Structure 1
Amino acid sequence: MADGVVPAADAPAPDFTLPDTHGTPTHLADLRGEPVLVVFFPFAFSGTCTAELGELRDHAGEFESAGVRVLAVSTDPVFTLKAWQEIEGFGFDLLSDFWPHGRAAQAFGVFDDSTGHALRGSFLVDADGIVRWSVVQPRGGRRDLDDYLAALAEV
């Protein structure tokens, strides 16, 4: 299971800088001024992760209407995420937490040290960098799209 502490609601979100599928660094603190949904997932190309991120892709309009930027993060390498994004047509950023391995997931308390990947944890961070909502599923658990849509009311 995860060894770190999940940030509580109303706490500052841990900062990170991670490369996107083009290798361009994305720094969470640079996104202040807009709400961000940070979605950790275990592995590209896996069935549950593909289904979950596919739901976010298929409901992108709701996130866009709320002004929420979606960042999906895994410990996969950049090249794996790029191939997956091209196949699945995800319109949001996929970020690689590959090296230092799992550092962002550790900061958010969702790194599973026994398996070397992130648990399914999602964090809605407001425009000031404060966590307003979160959900973390144990290994094998799946997030519910309706929970995301309800959380949009928090921003």
Structure 2
Amino acid sequence: MAIEPGAKAPDVELKDEHGQSVSLAAFRGRKNVVLLFFPFAFTGVCTGELCALRDRLPTFVNDDTQLLAVSNDSPFALRVFAEQEKFGYPLLSDFWPHGTVSRAYGVFDEEKGCAVRGTFIIDQEGVVRWTVINALPDARDLNDYVTALQAL
């Protein structure tokens, strides 16, 4: 069961594509966070979604908001993916222990071994304010994220 709006967000501390630790707690009191889970790097729908975010980056990475994208891929795969697509925002690896953070947010598909398409908008106090969960083949609508961020 995915984390619902109004719940305290479980903390995230994962390595990014450069091996640096990134913690959700580091943004508390400073920025809202768009925490986006995606199944796998280099796949069609995931690449399309992440490139669309890249193309609208000032909306999702600015003085008030930080985008963090999480997959169950290794940091090495995420680094190549980020460099190839020039994302400009952190890709976090939930590779080992496999899916720990994805499970904490209720978006890990045990049968497939990866996260489904879950997005959580977390306010500066660490409270989940908006969520959307899509099945693996179904892309999310970025305009919904923008509307949810504007409501904070």
TM-score range relative to shorter protein? over 0.9
**Runs (5+) with no aligned partner, structure 2:** none
SS at match of 2:73: coil
Letter aligned with residue 143 of structure 1: R
Match of 2:67 in 1: 70
Q: Shift in Å at residue 10 of structure 1?
A: 1.1
Matched ranges for 1:13-32 at <5 A: 13-32=9-28
Structure 1 position 9 matched with structure 2 position 5: yes
Matched ranges for 1:36-75 at <5 A: 36-65=33-62, 67-75=64-72
Structure 1 segments of 4 or more deviating over 3 A?
A: none
Q: Shift in Å at residue 63 of structure 1?
A: 2.2
Classify 1:25/1:75 alpha carbon distance in 2 versus 1 (closer, same or farther; 3 Å).
Answer: same
Q: Would you say the 8 A contact 2:121–2:129 is kept in 1?
A: yes
Classify 1:32/1:57 alpha carbon distance in 2 versus 1 (closer, same or farther; 3 Å).
Answer: same
Q: Would you say the 8 A contact 1:44–1:76 is kept in 2?
A: yes
Letter aligned with residue 59 of structure 2: E
**TM-score when normalising by structure 2:** 0.95
Structure 1 position 81 matched with structure 2 position 78: yes
Using the aligned pairs only, state the percent identity. 47
Alpha-carbon distance in structure 1 between the residues aligned to 2:61 and 2:106: 27
Q: Shift in Å at residue 154 of structure 1?
A: 2.5
Q: Would you say the 8 A contact 2:71–2:95 is kept in 1?
A: yes
Q: Shift in Å at residue 25 of structure 1?
A: 1.0
Q: Would you say the 8 A contact 2:37–2:70 is kept in 1?
A: yes
* C-alpha RMSD of matched pairs (Å): 1.1
